[in-house]
Homo-oligomer: A and B are copies of this chain.
Amino acid sequence: MFSIGELSKRTKVKVPTIRYYEQMGLLAEAERTSGNQRRYDKTGLERLSFIRHARDLGFSIEAISSLIELQEHPDRSCEAATDIAVSQLADVREKIKRLKLLEKELSRISKGCDGQGVSEDCYVLASLADHELCSREH
C-alpha cells in the first residue's frame, strides 16, 4: 500500500491529475487511512498506467472510460475497443493531414520575410491578411 505521491512518482502522473481521474470515475475510489489519505496497491497502479498510456496515445477520457469498462468484463466482445482504436487512428490521421497543410503555408510565410523590414511591407502580415496568397486550402 502506498500513497498518492508514490503512485504519482511511479506512473509519472501528477497528484492533482490522479485525484481528477478519480473524480471523473476513471479510477475507483481509493482506500483511505484513518486520517483520510488515499492508499493504493498494485491494482491501482496498473489501472493508472493503463490510463496514462491511453492518454499518451491521445484517447479521450470518455473513450478510456469505455475501454476500462470493457476491461472489467473479460467475457464481453471487444468490438467496441477496436472501434475506439480505429476511430482514434482516423482522428490522428486527420490531424496530421491538416497540420501538413498548415506547415506548407507557414513555411512559405516564414521564409517570405527575414524580419528586417517594417510592418507595412511585411510578407507575414500580408499573407495573414490575404488567403489568396496561400497555395491551397487549409
On whether A78 and B117 interact (CB within 8 A), knowing A85-B110, A96-B99, A102-B92, the answer reads: yes
List the number of copies, as a whole number.
Answer: 2
Bound together, the chains give a CA A58 to CA B110 distance in angstroms of: 14
On whether A99 and B110 interact (CB within 8 A), knowing A75-B119, A77-B115, A118-B74, the answer reads: no
Interface status of A135 (Cβ within 8 A of chain B): no
Interface status of A24 (Cβ within 8 A of chain B): no
On whether A119 and B76 interact (CB within 8 A), knowing A49-B129, A56-B138, the answer reads: yes
On whether A138 and B57 interact (CB within 8 A), knowing A92-B103, A99-B96, A110-B89, the answer reads: yes
Q: Which residue of B lies closest to A74 (CB)?
A: B120
Which chain A residues (64-109) contact chain B, with CB distance < 8 Å?
A: 67, 70-71, 73-86, 88-89, 92-93, 95-96, 99-100, 102-103, 105-107, 109
Bound together, the chains give a CA A116 to CA B124 distance in angstroms of: 53
Interface status of A27 (Cβ within 8 A of chain B): no
